[in-house]
Amino acid sequence: MATVTFDKATRIYPGTDKPAVDALDLAIEDGEFLVLVGPSGCGKSTSLRMLAGLEEVDGGAIRIGDRDVTHMPPKDRDIAMVFQNYALYPHMTVADNMGFALKIAGVSKDEIRRRVGDAAKLLDLTEYLDRKPKALSGGQRQRVAMGRAIVREPQVFLMDEPLSNLDAKLRVSTRTQIASLQRRLGITTVYVTHDQVEAMTMGDRVAVLNAGLLQQVDSPLGLYDKPSNVFVAGFIGSPAMNIATFDVKDGRATLGNADVAIPASIAAKVAEEGSDTVVLGFRPESLTPASSEETGGIPVLVDVVEELGSDAYVYGRPAGPAAEEQADRLRSDQIIARVEPRNAPQKGEKINFTVRQGSEHFFSVKTGERLEP
Amino acid sequence: MTTTQSPPRVSGDGGSPRRGGRRDRMPGVGAGEKAVGLINGGFLLLWGLITALPLLWAILSSFKTNGEFRVDPLGLPSGVQVDNFSRAWSAANIGQYFLNSVIVVSISLTLTMLFGAMGAYVLARYDFPGNRFLYYLFVGGLVLPVFLALVPMFFVVRNLGSLPVVGQFLGLNSYLSLALVYVAFSMPFTVFFLTAFFRTLPTSVAEAGIMDGCSHFSLFWKVMLPMARPGMISLALFNFLGHWNQYVLPLVIMQDGDKRVLAQGLGTLAATTGFRADWTALFAGLVIALLPVLIVYIVFQKQVQAGLTAGVLK
């Protein structure tokens, strides 16, 4: 078991100027489950592969524990990796697949059999040990890939989107299995995914990357409650946060007919920036339908209502005379609001939503950084 | 071929696609396609007959007596004349030639597959300056006609025999020389084919091997080569047939009577039996030469198909 440290680690692919991973600074605790998340092409897989030793490091350093592994070959790093497509050896049985690394390392046959047996028991694979991978289902293959990593008892687990080839239901159950397995083994784990729900549910901490740059590292709730910039705010949360650029005037943020009160400190900070607009974000659950006599709020024309049983979400577009301007300034195509599931509005209805006080997120128009009231 | 799915049909009564009941027609198969299918089938049948009949004739003839053969060349044999085979085997020296062929082909096939696979693997999966150049150098060999190389090859092989130490194993009339010449001539296609094949193998499996602690060598031997098995088998088969049936190259190199290979032996047999009119012994010799090829085809039929449609685990 060990810590993992990225120290300004940089990767520039040959033939490109822009780094795929740009001076990544990240310290992962011993035994921690850290999730790297971001849109495709953000550098999360590259970061993982740099740690694995499958990708060169062009600048900075990577350390596992106290060892500098920056230019060490993968086999000397004491790590194990689970690949997205599992990368099982098709010509070997499940047992041979799981024991291959030990065999290469020259571990005795009895020891290999014992460790493979233990891992198989842990993963419920005992009856499949003599099968070839092609005779297994997707979920079983995924478990074999996990088992191959577990038998090595490495210092660090690396997982590269290990659930993305499973169907939705299996993905949810495997997700919790992996998380609980990791807690039980207590092995430091770096997990890459593009699925922010996976990131939020599995990780002790989540690191959000975009365009090769680390945006924020925090606990899942920390990211959700205090996104440090507009990108994180838009990326974390499902359905996504509503984000739009509002004009600031007289202690209120307005956009056409939409009108939200803002704290004085935010107004002051916006003025300090020399700007008269602010990026305002509010999550779907922060919106409540207003009674008609209330002033302010955000008028929304309901397009679609998603009823999930426990929740209902309204997908709508800005309504009112200035709707076009509002739509232009909105970061997404629609406004999303969570409503009472047993009392959901109808398609085509017009509703005035108000933002629950204190649940707004403010970001600077100029830098995109979070403004704390 | 799927026959259970039919294209959605629009009919008056609501137009839900009917399943079961009568057998659904295959989509896109009308009268015209049927005719094409018949012509195709007929053509294939004709082709099959053209290929198989002479073969059958040769096999049947090898069981006849010379008298029977002269009177009725196309008729069925009255009994099984095993004597033809023993005459061909011993008198015409086919036994020795067969053994020579086996020795040469086993050396050449092993070396071709070994070097071919190693070369192709490196060219397919390692990036280094000159990779493309080497690859095209190999593939360039494909355009070289064997006949053009015969004379220089003769001198090269003969002179190799006068090298110190290794010369005793090389030179004319040496199994190893002939095998090496076979290797040289089959390398271009082997490398060409296997490079393409190694490229199709998933990179992630190789990476998994690296993570599991493989060195370059163990990665090749324990992971990549077993995965390339379908391609290796079909190519080994292809090379086996080529080497086994080779005539021109041994004609130049194996001049000593005892070292000749089967194809040469049959040539000699054909020439001499022509005078003695021992046709059935010639056919018996032919059948002996044919058997290994036939056996290889029958045994490895599945692998040949697998090699052509080579699939790796997704």
Residues A39 and A175 in one domain: yes
Residues A168 and A137 in one domain: yes
Helix, strand or coil for residue A57?
coil
Residues of A numbered 145-164 whose beta carbons fall under 8 angstroms of chain B's beta carbons: which are they? 148, 152
Chain B within 8 Å of A101 (Cβ-Cβ)? yes
Q: What is the CA radius of gyration of chain B?
A: 26
Nearest CA to CA, how far is A105 from chain B (Å)?
A: 7
Secondary structure of chain B in HEC code, one letter for each residue: CCCCCCCCCCCCCCCCCCCCCCCCCCCCCCHHHHHHHHHHHHHHHHHHHHHHHHHHHHHHHCCCCHHHHHHCCCCCCCCCCHHHHHHHHHHCCHHHHHHHHHHHHHHHHHHHHHHHHHHHHHHHHCCCCCHHHHHHHHHHHHHCCHHHHHHHHHHHHHHHCCCCCHHHHCCCCCHHHHHHHHHHHHHHHHHHHHHHHHHHCCHHHHHHHHHCCCCHHHHHHHHHHHHCHHHHHHHHHHHHHHHHCCCHHHHHHCCCHHHCCHHHHHHHHHHHHHHHCCHHHHHHHHHHHHHHHHHHHHHHHHHHHHHHCCCCCC
Q: Do B211 and A90 lie within an 8 Å CB cutoff?
A: no
Q: Do A101 and B227 lie within an 8 Å CB cutoff?
A: no
Question: How much is the average pLDDT of A171-185?
Answer: 90
Q: Do B208 and A74 lie within an 8 Å CB cutoff?
A: no
**Which residues of A fall within a CB distance of 8 Å from B231?**
none
Predicted local confidence at residue A259, as pLDDT: 80
Q: Is the ipTM of this complex over 0.85?
A: no
Predicted local confidence at residue B19, as pLDDT: 45
Tell me: pLDDT of A250 over 50. Answer: yes
**Which residues of A fall within a CB distance of 8 Å from B228?**
none
Average pLDDT, chain A: 89
Provide the CATH number for the domain around residue B262.
1.10.3720.10
By Cβ distance, the residue of A84, A133, A152 closest to B313 is A133
Q: Measuring CA to CA, how many Å separate A77 from each of A64, B136, B204?
A: 8, 38, 18
Residues A203 and A246 in one domain: no
Chain A within 8 Å of B208 (Cβ-Cβ)? yes
Tell me: pLDDT of A371 over 50. Answer: yes
Q: How many domains does chain A have?
A: 2
Number of CB pairs < 8 Å for A and B? Answer: 64
Long-range contacts of B165-173 (CB under 8 A, 24+ apart): B172/B253, B172/B254, B172/B255, B172/B256, B173/B253, B173/B254, B173/B255, B173/B256, B173/B259
Of the three residues B40, B60, B84, the one that is the final residue of a domain is B84
Of the three residues A174, A209, A234, the one that is the final residue of a domain is A234
Residues A159 and A68 in one domain: yes
Of the three residues B64, B84, B104, the one that is the final residue of a domain is B84
Provide the CATH number for the domain around residue A298.
2.40.50.140
Question: How much is the average pLDDT of A124-138?
Answer: 92
Q: Do A83 and B314 lie within an 8 Å CB cutoff?
A: no
Which of A10-14, A104-108, A218-222, B168-172 bottoms out in mean pLDDT, i.e. has the lowest?
B168-172
Residues B47 and B153 in one domain: no
Tell me: pLDDT of B295 over 70. Answer: yes
Chain B within 8 Å of A100 (Cβ-Cβ)? yes
By Cβ distance, the residue of B208, B214, B222 closest to A87 is B208
Residues B180 and B37 in one domain: no
Closest to A77 (Cα-Cα) out of A86, A67, A87 = A67
Residue B131, in any domain of the structure = yes
Residues B132 and B280 in one domain: yes
**Which residues of B fall within a CB distance of 8 Å from A83?**
204, 207-208
A241-A244-A245-A249 Cα dihedral, nearest 10 degrees = -90
Residues A302 and A367 in one domain: yes
Predicted local confidence at residue B13, as pLDDT: 44
Predicted local confidence at residue B11, as pLDDT: 42
pLDDT band at A358 (very low <50, low <70, confident <90, very high): confident
Predicted local confidence at residue A296, as pLDDT: 67
Q: What is the Cα–Cα distance from B191 to B120, expressed in whole angstroms?
A: 5
Tell me: pLDDT of A345 over 70. Answer: yes
Chain A within 8 Å of B313 (Cβ-Cβ)? yes
Provide the CATH number for the domain around residue A145.
3.40.50.300
Which of A175-189, A354-368, B69-83 bottoms out in mean pLDDT, i.e. has the lowest?
B69-83
Q: What is the Cα–Cα distance from A224 to A222, expressed in whole angstroms?
A: 5
Tokens at A270, concatenated: 């916006």
- Chain A's closest residue to B229, CA to CA, is A91
Q: What is the Cα–Cα distance from B229 to B304, expressed in whole angstroms?
A: 11
Nearest CA to CA, how far is A103 from chain B (Å)?
A: 9
Residue pLDDT, tens place only, B205-230: 999 999 999 999 999 999 999 998 88
By Cβ distance, the residue of B211, B226, B313 closest to A74 is B211
Chain B within 8 Å of A52 (Cβ-Cβ)? yes
pLDDT band at B28 (very low <50, low <70, confident <90, very high): low
Residues B108 and B251 in one domain: yes
Helix, strand or coil for residue A321?
coil
**Which residues of B fall within a CB distance of 8 Å from A50?**
none
What angle do helix axes B175-200 and B131-140 make, rounded to 10 degrees?
130
Residue B51, in any domain of the structure = yes
Tell me: pLDDT of A27 over 80. Answer: yes
Question: How much is the average pLDDT of B110-121?
Answer: 95
Residues B198 and B245 in one domain: yes
For residues A149 and A157, the answer to whether their CB atoms sit within 8 Å is yes
Q: Do B204 and A84 lie within an 8 Å CB cutoff?
A: yes
Nearest CA to CA, how far is A79 from chain B (Å)?
A: 8
**Mutation site, B211, B217, B232, interface A, largest A CB count within 10 A:** B211
- Chain B's closest residue to A105, CA to CA, is B213
**Which residues of A fall within a CB distance of 8 Å from B212?**
75, 100-101, 104, 148, 152
**Which residues of B fall within a CB distance of 8 Å from A100?**
209, 212, 222
Q: How many CB atoms lie within 10 A of CB A234?
A: 16
Predicted local confidence at residue B284, as pLDDT: 87
Q: Do B212 and A84 lie within an 8 Å CB cutoff?
A: no
Q: Do B212 and A83 lie within an 8 Å CB cutoff?
A: no
Q: How many domains does chain B have?
A: 2
Of the three residues A171, A206, A234, the one that is the final residue of a domain is A234
Question: How much is the average pLDDT of A91-118?
Answer: 94
Q: Do A89 and B227 lie within an 8 Å CB cutoff?
A: yes
By Cβ distance, the residue of B205, B213, B214 closest to A87 is B205
Question: How much is the average pLDDT of A29-51?
Answer: 93
Residue B2, in any domain of the structure = no
- Chain A's closest residue to B218, CA to CA, is A104
Nearest CA to CA, how far is B74 from chain A (Å)?
A: 50
Question: How much is the average pLDDT of A337-352?
Answer: 86
* Host domain of residue B62: 31-84
* Host domain of residue A131: 4-234
Tell me: pLDDT of A112 over 90. Answer: yes
Residues A85 and A169 in one domain: yes
Residues A308 and A333 in one domain: yes
Residues B184 and B219 in one domain: yes
Nearest CA to CA, how far is A77 from chain B (Å)?
A: 9
Q: Do B210 and A75 lie within an 8 Å CB cutoff?
A: yes
Tell me: pLDDT of A63 over 60. Answer: yes
Of the three residues B23, B53, B84, the one that is the final residue of a domain is B84
- Chain A's closest residue to B209, CA to CA, is A101
DSSP β-bridge partners for residue B101: none
**pTM of the shown model:** 0.79
Residues B235 and B129 in one domain: yes
Residues of B numbered 59-118 whose beta carbons fall under 8 angstroms of chain A's beta carbons: which are they? none
